[in-house]
Chains A and B, each alone.
Chain A
Amino acid sequence: MDPMKRDDDENCPVCKSSKYLNPQIKFLMSPICYHKMCESCVDRIFTQGPAPCPVIGCGKTLRKNKFRKQTFEDVTVEREVDVRKRIAKTFNKRRDDFDTLLDYNNYLEEVEEMTFNLVNGVDVAKTESKLQTYELANKDLINTNAARAAAEMQAFAQATEAEREQHKLARELAAREMEEERREQEEVKKITLNALATGDKNAVKIIQDVQLKRSSERKRRQAEEALRMKAVAEGRNLLKSSLLAGTRRKDVEDGPFDPLDGLDDKSELYVVQDYYENTWLETARKDTATQAGGYFVEEYYNRSLFEAFSGLTFFIDEDSAKKESDNRAPTLTDLMIVDAVS
């Protein structure tokens, strides 16, 4: 950025005091009109209650409690961040609120378009009204998602805290163990020296054996403890990841996989009924020999109706014309003719 401009920035546009005159000067701005002024001006003008912005030509009503410190040097960036924050509060749907990825992506695109409109001042009134209607229509969902996000944040913080605690415990345990070991060794050394001083060789051996046993016992205990800790940490990680993954994933029962994608052999043109009146079929139905041969009159209904309607709306000439045009790739001659014409 231009250093001259930066210098200029240091002035309060209302009272014209600057950092040079008052080194403790603090600049604030209100996210209504994003006009900057110094803290003393804010106090002076807005302590009595809401007042119009003192910048000439602005005149927007501002309140003292809305003033805050500017985070970004560029006001447009500041404003965009605010707009995005606001939009994100309303449009807080998640991937698992949608059935397909396409729906989710479409939603994201729409949200981004609205954000862009608000940031760049395109169709502001229309976008605002759209935002309002959405907010009203989806109040419940917005609240649930917000609560969910808060819960997740809390859970995450708790998990992190617990992990830290765990690490601390493990460290303390290790220190204690080491201390114990050291003390024991010293003790053993002392006893051994005593035994040596009295000249009891047998006792020295017994002491050393006991010490060896104790240390191996301790090592085993340590290994067990480490294993337990590890298991706890792993369980916590698992819990954390599942919390982050979102608890509201819809378990839609899709049923078994369907390779035909819902296509069935039911006709749109007929329904097979259980019974059709036909004298001839009656004889077949009642004839024991026919029935014994595995003949089903119902099967006959099925087949004759199927044959009456299958292929009824398939037009051979149309199909062959289509096949011909599919097969007819442009040949070299065709291309040459096209070239010659154009």
Chain B
Amino acid sequence: MSRYSSRPPFLHPLTYPADSVVVYQATALTFLHRLYLTTSTLTLHPKNILLLILYLATKTENHYTPIESFIATAATAGPVISQEDLLAPEFKVAIGLRWAFQVWHPLRGLEGIFLELNAIAIGRYQSPHGNDSGRSDAKEKLDALLRGDADRIGRAHHDARALLTTTALLTDAYFLYTPAQISFAAFWQADRDMAGLYIDVKFPPAAEPIKVKLLATIVECAGNHLASTITRDSLNPYPGLLLQLPQNGVATSIEAATERALMKEVMRIDKKLYHVTNRDRKVNEKKGAGGENGTTNGNGNGKYEGVDEEKRLKKRRLEREKLDKDGDVFGELL
């Protein structure tokens, strides 16, 4: 996808020019992740809030679309929804997100890293430590690394960005590392030597301990979350924790997401969810119809269930009557 073609005709002053549809997707995905940290799928079914989440993401990312046109656009792609249905869960979602709508995406920081790298490449880098020798040093080092391959920076940028718009969003990296660390981890994963060089340039010799610690964190993040070598059979780096990781069966690409087995599993879960959510309502419906006519429920043994229910109610009524007679919940005085 070209970053240039998807640019809106009018840029809001707060928009990042490198932002594109990718960022709305990223924000929407992060909302979903954050929301289901504290909210059960029993309360809010993902299917009912997907469009709303997307709508909120466009608002958050300063790409506001009036709700009518949003619904109309959605209808051209498939889902038809009314305005009321779209906005009904908005409050619950907002509470689930704890009203924290802004997302600090690492893919924005990545643009900053590559702005600087390009500046180093053309010898315009300015060191924060105030010495001009840093500029030529950095350029020499980078030249030595590139060896005339000027496109290498662009390739690293592309690869890192690809990681940040897919894998990083689908795993739990956002919860475990700071945005800047994820940016650097993606950079590291895309081009180790260049990332190492850049970090060397950034940290003066006096800050060696911090640098070592940062490198350890970046390598850990890259190795556990972003590396393309991770498969479902890889070792889970967080034993005992059910994190969103490729190792735990989380798809990191469209191919993986549309895998047959995975789809089947998702459908099974959804079916289960449907039954669990609707169990109480069914029971109530049955009772409203006299309790005898219910023929279907999740287990297909509605009749027995109905009889059980009646017995239970009777037992409860008797107990209550007995209590009323005794007059004390805890029985008579000793």
Contacts and interface: CB of A to CB of B under 8 A. Distances in A.
Contacts of B181: 311-312
B110 A284 contact: no
B11 A293 contact: yes
Contacts of B217: 315
Residue in A283, A295, A296 with the greatest tally of chain B CB atoms within 10 Å: A295
Interface string B275-308: 0000000000000000000000000000000000
A103 B236 CA distance: 58
Contacts of B122: 277
B214 A313 contact: yes
Contacts of A271: 126-128
Interface stretch (B36-44, B111-119, B312-320): B111-119
Contact of A276 (B11, B115, B178, B179): B115
Interface string A276-307: 11101101100001100111110111011111
B144 interface: no
A241 to B, nearest CB: 49
B214 A312 contact: yes
A305 B108 CA distance: 9
B109 interface: yes
Interface centre among A289, A299, A304, A311 (most CB of B within 10 A): A304
Contact of A295 (B15, B108, B112): B15
Given A284-B11, A300-B17, A313-B214, A306 B112 contact: yes
Contact of B109 (A273, A293, A308, A313): A308
Contacts of B333: none
A308 B180 contact: yes
Nearest to B4: A280
B218 to A, nearest CB: 9
A41 B4 CA distance: 111
Interface in B79-120: 104, 106, 108-113, 115-116, 118-119
A122 to B, nearest CB: 42
A228 B127 CA distance: 69
B128 A316 contact: no
B178 A303 contact: no
Contacts of A267: 128
B128 A280 contact: no
A293 B12 contact: yes
B205 interface: no
Contacts of A273: 119, 124, 126
A314 B11 contact: no
B158 to A, nearest CB: 13
Contacts of A277: 118-119, 122, 124
Contact of A270 (B4, B104, B116, B183): B116
Contact of B112 (A281, A283, A299, A305): A305
A313 to B, nearest CB: 5
Given A289-B10, A313-B214, A269 B109 contact: no
B112 A280 contact: no
A296 B13 contact: yes
B111 A304 contact: yes
A293 to B, nearest CB: 6
A293 B10 contact: yes
Contacts of A308: 109-113, 116, 180, 183
A310 interface: yes
A268 B167 CA distance: 30
Given A293-B11, A315-B213, A307 B126 contact: no
A275 to B, nearest CB: 8
Contacts of B124: 273, 275-277
A269 B116 CA distance: 11
A283 B4 CA distance: 10
B77 interface: no
A307 B104 contact: yes
A307 B109 contact: yes
B122 to A, nearest CB: 6
B21 to A, nearest CB: 16
A309 interface: yes
B202 interface: yes
B104, B116, B184: which has the most chain A beta carbons within 10 Å? B116
A110 B18 CA distance: 64
B331 interface: no
Contact of B119 (A276, A280, A299, A315): A276
Contacts of A281: 17
A76 B90 CA distance: 89
B17 A284 contact: yes
A303 B4 CA distance: 20
Q: Which of B11, B112, B113, B116 has the most CB of A within 10 A?
A: B112
Contact of B179 (A283, A284, A311): A311
A290 B9 CA distance: 8
Given A293-B12, A305-B112, A269 B202 contact: yes
A290 B10 contact: yes
A61 to B, nearest CB: 59
Nearest to A303: B16
8 residue pairs, one from A and one from B, having the closest CB atoms: A308-B112, A304-B112, A311-B178, A308-B109, A307-B109, A312-B180, A305-B112, A294-B13
Given A289-B9, A304-B16, A308-B113, 8 more contacts: A271-B127, A276-B124, A284-B11, A289-B10, A305-B115, A307-B179, A310-B178, A311-B178
Interface of A: 267-271, 273, 275-278, 280-281, 283-284, 289-290, 293-297, 299-301, 303-316
Interface of B: 3-4, 9-13, 15-18, 104, 106, 108-113, 115-116, 118-119, 122, 124, 126-128, 176-181, 183-184, 202-203, 210, 213-214, 217
16 contacts: A271-B128, A276-B116, A277-B118, A277-B119, A277-B124, A278-B115, A278-B118, A280-B17, A293-B12, A300-B17, A301-B115, A303-B108, A303-B112, A304-B112, A312-B184, A316-B178
